[in-house]
Amino acid sequence: MQTFHEKTNITLKKYYSEPQFIDYTTQPSSQKIYPHFYRRFNLDEYETLSFIKNFAQATFTKQYGKEHVNLRTTPSAGGLYPCEIYIQIRKVKGLLSGVYHYEPLQNALTLIHELSNDGLEVYFEEFTTAQQFIFLISCVPFRTVWKYEDRSIRYLLLDSGHQIGAVNTACNLSGIHPTLSTNFDKEKLNALFRFQNKEYFVAALSIDLGQEANIKPLREALPFVPACDYYLPHPFADDFFTHYNKEAPFSLALPSLCSLINQQVIDTRRSCRAFKNESLSFNDFKTICTELFELSTSLGIEIFYINNNIEELPLGLYKNVSCLKEGDFRQKAQELALYQALGAKSAATLFFTTSKKSAYAKSTILSAYLAHSIYLKCSALGLQCSGVGAYFDEECQTFLQTSNNILYLICIGK
């Protein structure tokens, strides 16, 4: 996996020698829709399942000329939304036990497989009991590859991490606490859902029903339904997911991301387009970062940050709580973030990194999972933030004086 990271570095040479023209009229569709004759269930009519809307529903509509773009509960690189969500549900009053596909813009569940004595539990290493919910997250690489080419593999993992964060938050808000797992037979499930290398399962979150059950493999494969209106092949992304399936799987009882969470926090979460260059109080910075630093360390993720404008803290480069070098690095932060003003005008620009020896996909997914907590805390505190996936990798490493892989940047401020 390490080589996939290195091959997708943005270097100064690439930046200056490969200007990209993107024809926005060719953007593939960013929502999978099963055919009209499938049974649909409007989630507004199911009180006990109303938390699912917070997984991905549209919370804001942006107008670009004549075009409307629906922005969702999750941030997404380029707003391309490569993730799809499938949900196996058992024993929910008024709903057939089955495998459903979630349609975020319609806030509906489409029944794609009714359960009999079969179920998805069979494909998971650790399940000995029936699960009430299994939330499966997949990626549709072409949606992202269309714009970002090979670099997409990173954004697909990061978007998945945010998607996991959004699902977990939605569950926590309704009092349930899922376990995250990549420990399932992804290849088998990709085949059973007939993804045909156009879509790939990445991770699952589950809630145990606590009942022993003799569950059988799925009775039949599902039909192929395209997740985009058209596709172009991208062997690099296919190769990446073949390797992803072989990376050591993991399971994690997910820690709650944000104690300040409520419906309004989710509805108003947005990425900052331009900071006003105002300072951030040290207290707010601590509220956002104290828990985050502890948690990231336990997950093998090392966070550096450039303090551009945090009150009561000397300007400089920090790693967790230690100052590595004092100085005004605003210009440097902008350069590193591919000259994006977000880097310099933020009060703090955070760098999520991990050792080259760490499990690459796991660290990347979990970085974005943690970054999702920053988004939510900023939303709760009336602050701004933005994820930044476009940065000069080697220049970041040199400036931070680390050989770690640089996985993700987050800018926080006002």
Ligand X SMILES: Cc1cc2nc3c(=O)[nH]c(=O)nc-3n(C[C@H](O)[C@H](O)[C@H](O)COP(=O)(O)O)c2cc1C
> Per rule CB under 6 A, is residue 373 in the interface with ligand X?
no
Sequence letter at residue 235: P
In the complex, the smallest distance separating the C-beta of residue 328 from ligand X, rounded to whole angstroms, is: 23
In the complex, the smallest distance separating the C-beta of residue 289 from ligand X, rounded to whole angstroms, is: 19
> Per rule CB under 6 A, is residue 249 in the interface with ligand X?
no
Continuous segment of H or E residues that includes residue 400? helix 393-400
> Per rule CB under 6 A, is residue 365 in the interface with ligand X?
no
Closest-CA residue to 390 (of 345, 328, 356, 342): 342
User: Which residue in this structure is represented by tokens 């399940």?
Assistant: 127
Binding segment for ligand X (CB under 6 A), chosen from 68-76, 117-125, 212-220, 325-333, is 68-76
Q: Which is nearer to ligand X, 81 or 193 (CB)?
A: 81
Distance CA 337, CA 411 (A): 10
Show the site string, 308-347: x = touches ligand X by CB under 6 A, - = not: --------------------------------x-x-----
In the complex, the smallest distance separating the C-beta of residue 316 from ligand X, rounded to whole angstroms, is: 23
How far is the first Cα of the chain from the last one, in angstroms, to the nearest whole number? Answer: 36
Which tokens hold the place of 108? 């509906």
The one among 386, 397, 402, 404 contacting ligand X by CB under 6 A: 386
> Per rule CB under 6 A, is residue 389 in the interface with ligand X?
yes
Cβ-proximal residues to 243 (8 Å cutoff; 6+ apart), any chain: 1, 4
Continuous segment of H or E residues that includes residue 69? strand 67-72
Q: Which is nearer to ligand X, 188 or 270 (CB)?
A: 270
The one among 98, 104, 178, 387 contacting ligand X by CB under 6 A: 387
Cβ-proximal residues to 188 (8 Å cutoff; 6+ apart), any chain: 123
66 to 25, 62, 69, 207, 339: CA distances (angstroms): 12, 10, 10, 42, 29
In the complex, the smallest distance separating the C-beta of residue 94 from ligand X, rounded to whole angstroms, is: 32
> Per rule CB under 6 A, is residue 255 in the interface with ligand X?
no
The one among 1, 54, 75, 164 contacting ligand X by CB under 6 A: 75
Binding segment for ligand X (CB under 6 A), chosen from 27-35, 70-78, 103-111, 258-266, is 70-78
In the complex, the smallest distance separating the C-beta of residue 346 from ligand X, rounded to whole angstroms, is: 11
Binding segment for ligand X (CB under 6 A), chosen from 26-34, 74-82, 189-197, 323-331, is 74-82
Binding segment for ligand X (CB under 6 A), chosen from 88-96, 163-171, 197-205, 382-390, is 382-390
Binding segment for ligand X (CB under 6 A), chosen from 36-44, 158-166, 172-180, 307-315, is 158-166
> Per rule CB under 6 A, is residue 56 in the interface with ligand X?
no
Bridge partner residues of 408 (DSSP): 352
Range 118-151 burial, b when 16+ CB lie within 10 A, else e: bbbbebbeebeebbbbbbbbbbbbbbbbbbbeeb
Which tokens hold the place of 227? 């997740």
Distance CA 80, CA 104 (A): 14
Interface residues with ligand X (CB under 6 A) are 71, 75-79, 155, 158-159, 162, 270-271, 340, 342, 386-390
